[in-house]
Amino acid sequence: MKVCKNCTLSDNIFSVRINDEGLCNYCLQSNKSNNNNNIPIEEYVEKEKQLMEAFDKYKHLPYQVLLAYSGGKDSTFTLYKLREKFNVSVLAVTFDNGFLTEQCRQNIHEVTANLGVDSITIKPSFSKLAKVFNLAASKEIYPKKSLERASSICTACIGIVKSTVHREAILRKIPFVCFGWTPGQVHVKAPIMKLDYRMVMANQKQIQEPIVKNLGDEYKKYFIDPEWIEDQKENVPSLAYPLVFSNYNEDEILDTIKSIGWKRPKDTDMNSTNCLLNSYANSIHARDYGYNPYSLEIAGLVREGFLSSEEGLKKLSASGEDSVINYVKNELDKYSKL
Amino acid sequence: MKEKVTLEQISESIRNFLFENYLFGYDEKEFSNDSSFLDFGVLDSTGILELIVFIEGEFDIEVSDVEILPENLDSVNSVSRLVYKKIN
């Protein structure tokens, strides 16, 4: 296995090729592509201005933004920024996959109280979710490219989260949906994107189809109905990216969110600050594919100067606690039999 | 690459991008220029955004939100036609 000397990517990842100089194709491409690398501060200011103006058009609504709030550090910082910097009204929607830590639940309680934010939690039956996660762990149901960005289990989980929050935003006529996406996770040219409902459905199809095909029609209820969204197409929200165009500094983020009552859970792995399932999902992914599913995200942060390569490698080499991995496995096995 | 580029050249460039970045393990013959990205399961939502970033940079064009539709972005041919229309 070869590792890029610049960004930490290994050639175990399907799309990574390392050249004779020890540089990967992502680093070579980043010099000419349109990413956030070396964006001058004026451009960040301009992007934030665009966000502010877009949000301000909807000041009259009860909620301007629906935030998919996992309780982790990035979505907590996104919530902080939405409230303190953009001064928008937010509905925080948490999807409970059954593996949120107790500290995470406490953090959601503290942070939403301190920021004056209304919050709801949506929790599908755990036995249903356990079957989805076990399916994702045992069969290759998603494209290889998706598996470069996240484990199969996390892809299934976040796919259901996306459908859930879109449906909530449409139902409540909330014009913007935010996630805690960081600069390493997505590359978009603008801080706001309005996707046509057909695109939302095309994206959903990839997550939904293998789940319904393998587990049955009763799982359709966790996704958006195609006829309903067509009737509601005027209410499909825009996607807003408040963290993507910013100087992402993990230490500063942690310091900031501590000031609003957030505490780091002690039982999650190094790449998660809210969910125990992550450790199990990563271990399955590393076993099946030979690399950490956070590799591309971490390499993106290293490449863009938000993390040092030493910090990146440390994150990549850290695995979850065996006790947590076994706990998750046992829970999934137990509940997926129901 | 902004002017006098042919539809065939655009298709070739997009096809190369896809085979280098997304179509791991596929034989070139398995994936035609009319094959649906979504049906083949090669592009997810983030992949679509990355494809847009690629064509904007490669062909010096801007794709607006209203153009981000399955019919414009679901095959090598549909993406090529969108690019060709925009640069001509």
DSSP A33-47: S-SSTT--HHHHHHH
Render pLDDT for B2-29 as a digit per residue (tens, 0 to 9).
Answer: 567 899 999 999 999 988 888 776 777 7
Comparing B62 with A182, the larger pLDDT belongs to: B62
**Gap from A20 CA to chain B (nearest CA, Å):** 18
Q: Does A199 touch chain B (CB under 8 A)?
A: yes
- Higher-scoring residue by pLDDT: A146, A54: A54
Tell me the chain B residues in contact with residue A186 when contact means C-beta distances shorter than 8 Å. Answer: 46, 49
* Contact residues for A285 (Cβ-Cβ < 8 A; gap 6+): A147, A151, A152, A153, A291, A292, A293
A314 near B CB under 8 A: no
A206 touches chain B (CB under 8 A): yes
A191: phi then psi, degrees, rounded to nearest 5: -75, -10
pLDDT digits over A196-221, tens only? 999 999 999 999 999 999 999 999 99
Q: What are phi and psi of A100, to 5 degrees?
A: -70, 135
Q: Using CA atoms, how far apart are residues A210 and A216, in angstroms rounded to an integer?
A: 10
Interface touch A203/B48, C-beta < 8 Å: yes
- Per 3-state DSSP, chain B is made up of helix, strand and coil in percentages (nearest 5) of 65, 0, 35
Q: Which of A332, A334, A308 is nearest to A132 (CA)?
A: A332
For chain A, the 3-state helix, strand and coil shares in percent, each to the nearest 5, are 50, 10, 40
Confidence grade of residue A98 (pLDDT, cut at 50, 70, 90): very high
CB contacts of B70 in chain A (<8 Å) are 198-199, 202
CA A275 to chain centre: 12
The span from the CA of B74 to the CA of A114, in Å, is 45
Are the beta carbons of B48 and A187 separated by less than 8 Å?
no
Which ipTM was obtained for this model?
0.82
Mean pLDDT of A66-92: 97
Q: Does A35 contact chain B (CB < 8 Å)?
A: yes
First to last CA, chain B: 12
Q: Between these two residues, A149 and A74, which has the higher pLDDT value? A: A74
- Structure confidence at residue A97 (pLDDT): 98
DSSP state of A237: P
Query: In B, which residues are within 8 Å of A203 by CB distance?
Result: 44-45, 48
Q: b vs e for A292-311, b when ≥16 Cβ sit within 10 Å of the residue's Cβ?
A: bbbbbbbbbbbbbebbebee
- Per-residue pLDDT tens over the stretch A299-325: 988 988 888 999 998 888 877 889 999
Q: Give the rounded distance of the alpha carbon of A186 from its chain centre.
A: 10
C-alpha to C-alpha distances, A119 to A105, A144, A212, nearest whole angstrom: 12, 35, 29
The amino acid sitting at A16 is: V
Taking contacts as CB-CB distances below 8 angstroms, the residues of chain B near A189 are 52-53, 56
Those residues whose C-beta lies under 8 Å from the C-beta of residue A178, and which sit 6 or more positions away, are A65, A66, A67, A68, A78, A82, A239, A240, A241, A242
- Please write the tens of the pLDDT for every residue from A233-277: 999 999 999 998 887 888 999 999 999 999 999 988 888 999 999
pTM of the model: 0.90
Judge whether A320 and A282 are in contact, CB under 8 Å.
Answer: yes
Give A137-158 pLDDT, tens digit per residue.
999 998 777 888 899 999 999 9
Task: Provide the pLDDT for residue A31.
Answer: 62
Q: Which residues of B touch A144 (CB under 8 A)?
A: 22, 24-25
Q: So what's the pLDDT on residue A319?
A: 77
How far B58 CA sits from the closest chain A CA (Å)? 8
